[in-house]
C-alpha cells in the first residue's frame, strides 16, 4: 500500500490570470475561491482551493501537493524518503498559508519538478458550498481520490520511474506502449496510483519539450458534463488536442483541450478505482481504444 493518500492540489505558474479565470469557470466548470492581482484560487469541492494559479511567465506546473491524513504519517514519510537520500525541505509558514494547509515539505524529482507533501487542508465555510457556474451534474470526483491526475514529462524516463516508485512510493497501475497511434512516435508511459485507489494520480512519459506538464485531468461525476464542456470549447474555438474518446486502462471517456498556458486539460468521466488486493498490472498497446481523434479535433476548429 502506498503511503501517499491522494493528489490534493496543484500549483500553476501562468501569464494570464484573466484568461484562466474565464477558461476554468465558464468552460471547465470550476469555481473561484479567491482572486487578487497575483493569484487565483480555484475550487472543485468543499476544499478552500484545489488549483492555485500564481502569476508568472513559465505557463507550467509549479508543484503537485500530495496529501497525508495525519501529521504523524507525513513526518514518517519524510523521514523514510530522507533515508533514501532524497533532499526534503520543510515549507515555511507563509508557503503553508498560501497552499491553505497546516504543514508541508517538498522535494524535486529528477526533472526539477516539485512535489509537495502536506496534511491539514483548509475547508471553505459551510455557508459557501461548491457551485459550478455551468455544470449540469453535481460536480467533480474528488474526496478521497483527490483532484484527478497529472502527467509531467520525464526527460530521464527510467530514472524518473525509479524515483517515483522506489523513493516516493507510488504504485504502478499499468503501462501504455503505443507505436501506432502517432506516426513516427513511440509513446511509452507509466501510470501510478496512491493508496486511495484512483486509477492514476500521476503518470509520466518522455517527450522532447521544455515544459514539465503535458496535461492535467479533472473528472466529472456526470458524463453529460464531458459533452457539454466539449461543446463549450468548440463554440469558443478553443484548440482541441484530442476529441472525445475512451482510454483502455483507466476506462475514462474524455477529451483534451488546450489551456491558456498551452498545456492540455483533460475533462473526463468514469475512472476506475483500484483494489490492490485484486489488481493486475497490464501493458496496453493503445492510448485509446476508440475516439480521441486528432483529425476530427482539427476539423472541429
Give yes or no: residues 231 and 96 share one domain: no
Q: Using one digit for the tens of pLDDT, what is the confidence trace for 70-84? A: 999 999 999 999 999
Q: For residue 217, is it within any domain?
A: yes
Where a domain ends, among 119, 153, 170? 119
50, containing H or E segment = none
Give yes or no: residues 182 and 55 share one domain: no
Give yes or no: residues 69 and 35 share one domain: yes
Give yes or no: residues 215 and 288 share one domain: yes
Q: Using one digit for the tens of pLDDT, what is the confidence trace for 123-162? A: 999 999 999 999 999 999 999 999 999 999 999 999 999 9
Q: Following DSSP, what letter does each residue of 199-268 receive, concatenated?
A: S-SEEEE--S-S-SEEEEEEEBSSTHHHHHHHHHHHHHTPPEEEEEEE-TTT--EEEEEE-TTSSEEEEE
Residue with cell 520543510: 90
| Number of domains into which the chain is organized | 2
What per-residue confidence (pLDDT) applies to 299?
44
Q: For residue 191, is it within any domain?
A: yes
Give yes or no: residues 55 and 115 share one domain: yes
Q: Using one digit for the tens of pLDDT, what is the confidence trace for 232-243? A: 999 999 999 999
Calpha distance 263→73 (Å, rounded)? 33
Where a domain ends, among 119, 154, 184? 119
**What mean pLDDT comes out for the span 221-230?**
98
Give yes or no: residues 149 and 285 share one domain: yes
Q: For residue 137, is it within any domain?
A: no
Give yes or no: residues 215 and 173 share one domain: yes
What per-residue confidence (pLDDT) applies to 207?
86
Residue 254 pLDDT level (bands cut at 50, 70, 90): very high
Give yes or no: residues 295 and 214 share one domain: yes
Q: For residue 128, is it within any domain?
A: no
The partner residues of 88 in beta bridges, in order of sequence, read: none
What per-residue confidence (pLDDT) applies to 184?
64
Torsion, CA 5, CA 157, CA 53, CA 64, rounded to 10: 20
**Grid cell listed for 137:** 451534474
Give yes or no: residues 154 and 113 share one domain: no
Residue 66 pLDDT level (bands cut at 50, 70, 90): very high
Strand, helix or coil for residue 82: helix
Note down the domain range covering 112. 6-119
Q: For residue 124, is it within any domain?
A: no
Give yes or no: residues 258 and 290 share one domain: yes
Residue-wise over 240-267: b if at least 16 C-beta within 10 A, else e? bbbbbbbbbbbebbbbbbbbbbebbbbb
What CATH number does the domain containing 228 carry? 3.10.180.10
Could you give the strand order of the β-sheet that contains 290-291, starting from the edge strand earlier in sequence? 282-284, 171-178, 187-193, 202-205, 149-152, 213-219, 264-269, 253-258, 240-246, 290-291
Q: For residue 77, is it within any domain?
A: yes
**Grid cell listed for 44:** 472543485
Give yes or no: residues 83 and 204 share one domain: no
Give yes or no: residues 97 and 152 share one domain: no
Q: For residue 101, is it within any domain?
A: yes
Calpha distance 221→286 (Å, rounded)? 25
What per-residue confidence (pLDDT) applies to 80?
98
**What mean pLDDT comes out for the span 46-53?**
98
Residue 203 pLDDT level (bands cut at 50, 70, 90): very high
Residue 181 pLDDT level (bands cut at 50, 70, 90): low
What per-residue confidence (pLDDT) applies to 185?
65
**What mean pLDDT comes out for the span 25-37?**
97
Q: For residue 18, is it within any domain?
A: yes
Amino acid at each position: 500500500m502506498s503511503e501517499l493518500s491522494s493528489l490534493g492540489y496543484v500549483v500553476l505558474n501562468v501569464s494570464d490570470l484573466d484568461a484562466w479565470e474565464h477558461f476554468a469557470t465558464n468552460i471547465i466548470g470550476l469555481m473561484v475561491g479567491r482572486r487578487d492581482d497575483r493569484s487565483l484560487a480555484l475550487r472543485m469541492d468543499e476544499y478552500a482551493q484545489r488549483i492555485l494559479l500564481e502569476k508568472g511567465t513559465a505557463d507550467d506546473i509549479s508543484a503537485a501537493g500530495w496529501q497525508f491524513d495525519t501529521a504523524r504519517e507525513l513526518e514518517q514519510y519524510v523521514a523514510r524518503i530522507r533515508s533514501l537520500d532524497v533532499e526534503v525541505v520543510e515549507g515555511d509558514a507563509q508557503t503553508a498559508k498560501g497552499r491553505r494547509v497546516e504543514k508541508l515539505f517538498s522535494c524535486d524529482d529528477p526533472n526539477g519538478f516539485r512535489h509537495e507533501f502536506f496534511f491539514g487542508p483548509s475547508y471553505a465555510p459551510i455557508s459557501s458550498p461548491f457551485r459550478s457556474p455551468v455544470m449540469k451534474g453535481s460536480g467533480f470526483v474528488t474526496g478521497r481520490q483527490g483532484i484527478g491526475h497529472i502527467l509531467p514529462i520525464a526527460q530521464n524516463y527510467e530514472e524518473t520511474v525509479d524515483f517515483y516508485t522506489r523513493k516516493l512510493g507510488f504504485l504502478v497501475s499499468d503501462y501504455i506502449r503505443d507505436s501506432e497511434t502517432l506516426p513516427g512516435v513511440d509513446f511509452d508511459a507509466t501510470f501510478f496510483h496512491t493508496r486511495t485507489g484512483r486509477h492514476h494520480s500521476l503518470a509520466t512519459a518522455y517527450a522532447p519539450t521544455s515544459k514539465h506538464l503535458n496535461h492535467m485531468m479533472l473528472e466529472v461525476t456526470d458524463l453529460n458534463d464531458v459533452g457539454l464542456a466539449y461543446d463549450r470549447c468548440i463554440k469558443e474555438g478553443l484548440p482541441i488536442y484530442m476529441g472525445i474518446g475512451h482510454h483502455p486502462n483507466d476506462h475514462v471517456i474524455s477529451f483534451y483541450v488546450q489551456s491558456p498556458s498551452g498545456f492540455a486539460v483533460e475533462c473526463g468521466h468514469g475512472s476506475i478505482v483500484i483494489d490492490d488486493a485484486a489488481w493486475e498490472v497490464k501493458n496496453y498497446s493503445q492510448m485509446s481504444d476508440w475516439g480521441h481523434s486528432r483529425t476530427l479535433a482539427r476539423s472541429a476548429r
